[in-house]
Amino acid sequence: MKYFLLGFTLLFSIASFAQNDQLIVWKNEAKPVLKIDDIEKIKEVADKNGLVFIMKDVNDGIPGEINYTPSIVFQNSNGRSFYYGRYMNYSRMENFIRASKLSHQKPTSNYKNEMLVWKEGKTEVMAPLKLTELKGEIPKKYNEAEFVENAKQHVAEGMSLFVLQKDFESTSQTRSFYFNLYPYVDETGYMIITAEIFSQYNCVKPVFQQYGNGLVSGKWKKRNQLFKTAGKRIELLIRSLMMDSENGDALQSIPENLPIKSWEQLNLSLPVARAAQEKSNIVLPNLPVNWEVELPTDKTQPFCIFSFLPPLDNYAGEVKDMTGTFTLGEENQLSTAMGKFEVQTADVTMGSEDFDYEVQNKMLNKKDFPTSKFEFETFEVKEELRELDKPTDFKAKGKFTMLGRTIQLFCEGQIMAKKNENGSIRLQVNCTFNLPLFQSFRVEGPDGPTPEKDTLQFFMKFNLKPILD
């Protein structure tokens, strides 16, 4: 928690977001993937969110982190993040931008075992395989572990481009196409292998599926050759998706011989932040006791984003609305403050209709549990609220309720009295907390390591305004 709090405090040490935040699109003019309409729509997303739009051709030089085209990068004075999503999914892209404004991705690696990997130049694509247990008429002397091991080996042998690697280091720039194979044997000893392929950007809706008569079929005793044929066909299908995807999965590899240049050499240094607002040293008068949530009036700025822990922090979302009250103690005493906040499940989004349906209905069950709430019982501060524009650290402890379960939750951050553009006093709150999804609520996250896939991290920035009598 301290690690995230440090980054979050640093992030909001400036008065407001910089005005020259940038969206950079890397393309290869010699091997274009993006069409003119695609570029125009991405530019519209940038304009809508107040970003400077920049196009870069990889043939003029690339930073070491750019491994394929198109690659899309958001950067501001606090760092840069790489878009994890289809280049034609503009709502998801906007979600990525808004999340990155509050918190950048953390560079990290995810080590894989027995992974199918295709490498060309600087580009790496992995193809995780899920082989389900054999269904139907199970043959005599059948050994599940032996069957799975042999099947995966023969799938790999059927491929000519993908190679089975014992150890593989996956990064945020590694592309992926997941595939599932479902073997079935009927009463005559005839085996059918059905299949699905998923883009890394959507684990809900497959980009290819072959049921019915299967991807391949034949006699059980010919199963080794069947799995080789399945591997060959899967590889052809993945390569086809990489070259000509109608929904935004296409990519082009980057040759090794392109010149490597730093971001600075390419005139892509991080934008300069606004100067920090100096403390006013103005002593606060006695403030009102009762306050309520005031969300940003600038709709390009988010107030709450969440993501799984690195290396899964590409899975990020946003809370669009929140209500809540805050009660300040007499004479501005924070140590006796109380508060409660509530979010509607329907206001949780990940920028994609498929993901939103899964999150709202299957993970969070909005029909039976339409709200989540946090009510803190203690509010520990290092010092009381005495001066304007002087932040103070706090730790709030209380009860968080979601899916009908209540847990103890700790939230850390800063609170500061400041004046808005109209000269009215507001309490600005910046805070972060972690939510143990699986341990406390039995909600499973995406594929990945534990506890990273089981924990959500939240970052929030919002104001409190006085409740008028």
> Alpha-carbon Rg of the chain, whole angstroms?
26
Closest CA to 209 of 191, 232, 182, 186: 182
Tokens read off for 254:
């980057």
Q: How far apart are CA 443 and CA 462, in angstroms?
A: 27
Half-sphere exposure of 3 (CA within 13 A, CB side): 5
pLDDT digit string, tens, across residues 329-387: 988 999 999 999 999 999 999 888 888 998 899 889 999 999 999 999 999 998 899 89
Question: Does 268 map to a domain?
Answer: no
The domain spanning residue 374 has which CATH number?
2.40.128.110
Question: Does 252 map to a domain?
Answer: no
The domain spanning residue 222 has which CATH number?
3.40.50
Domain count, the chain: 3
Question: Does 258 map to a domain?
Answer: no
Q: How far apart are CA 63 and CA 265, in angstroms?
A: 9
Question: Does 130 map to a domain?
Answer: yes
How distant, in Å, are the alpha carbons of 134, 141, 190, 191, 258 from that of 138?
7, 9, 11, 11, 53
Tokens read off for 179:
């595939």
Could you say which of 206, 226, 243 is where a domain stops? 243
Q: How far apart are CA 432 and CA 11, in angstroms?
A: 12
Q: At what angle do helices 223-243 and 144-157 cross, to 10 degrees?
A: 50
Bridge partners of 345, per DSSP, are none
Cβ proximity of 14 and 274 under 8 Å:
yes
Question: Do 369 and 425 fall within a single domain?
Answer: yes
Question: Do 343 and 368 fall within a single domain?
Answer: yes
Question: Does 284 map to a domain?
Answer: no
User: Which helix or strand (DSSP H or E) is residue 355 part of?
Assistant: helix 353-357
Question: Do 138 and 78 fall within a single domain?
Answer: no
Question: Do 429 and 299 fall within a single domain?
Answer: yes
Question: Does 276 map to a domain?
Answer: no
Question: Do 37 and 116 fall within a single domain?
Answer: no
Q: How far apart are CA 193 and CA 180, in angstroms?
A: 10
The domain spanning residue 44 has which CATH number?
3.40.30.10
Question: Do 76 and 127 fall within a single domain?
Answer: no
Could you say which of 85, 107, 129 is where a domain stops? 107
Task: List, for the chain, all residue ranges whose pLDDT scores fall below the cut of 50.
Answer: 1-18
Neighbours of 88 (CB within 10 A): 19
Task: Check the CA dihedral 158-160-165-169 and report its sign.
Answer: negative
Question: Does 262 map to a domain?
Answer: no
* Lookup result for tokens 């406390």: 440
- The pLDDT value recorded for residue 6 is 40
Closest CA to 195 of 145, 144, 155, 242: 155
User: Which helix or strand (DSSP H or E) is residue 56 part of?
Assistant: strand 52-57
Question: Do 371 and 458 fall within a single domain?
Answer: yes
Question: Do 54 and 117 fall within a single domain?
Answer: no
- The pLDDT value recorded for residue 278 is 64
Closest CA to 254 of 122, 412, 86: 122
Q: How far apart are CA 355 and CA 369, in angstroms?
A: 18
Which domain, by its residues, includes 102? 2-107
Angle in degrees, CA 14, 17, 19, rounded to 5: 125
Question: Does 253 map to a domain?
Answer: no
- pTM of the predicted model as reported, rounded to 2 decimal places: 0.82
Question: Do 336 and 449 fall within a single domain?
Answer: yes
Question: Do 114 and 103 fall within a single domain?
Answer: no
Question: Do 437 and 308 fall within a single domain?
Answer: yes
Secondary structure class of 143 (helix, strand, coil): coil
Q: How far apart are CA 226 and CA 191, in angstroms?
A: 9
E strands, 160-288, in order: 163-170, 175-185, 190-199, 208-210, 216-219, 252-253
86 contacts: CB under 8 Å, gap ≥ 6: 92, 199, 201, 202, 247, 248, 249
pLDDT digit string, tens, across residues 165-196: 999 998 888 999 999 999 999 999 999 999 99
Question: Do 9 and 85 fall within a single domain?
Answer: yes
Tokens read off for 138:
């199970």
Could you say which of 107, 127, 157 is where a domain stops? 107
CB-based burial label for 415 (10 Å; 0-12, 13-18, 19+): buried
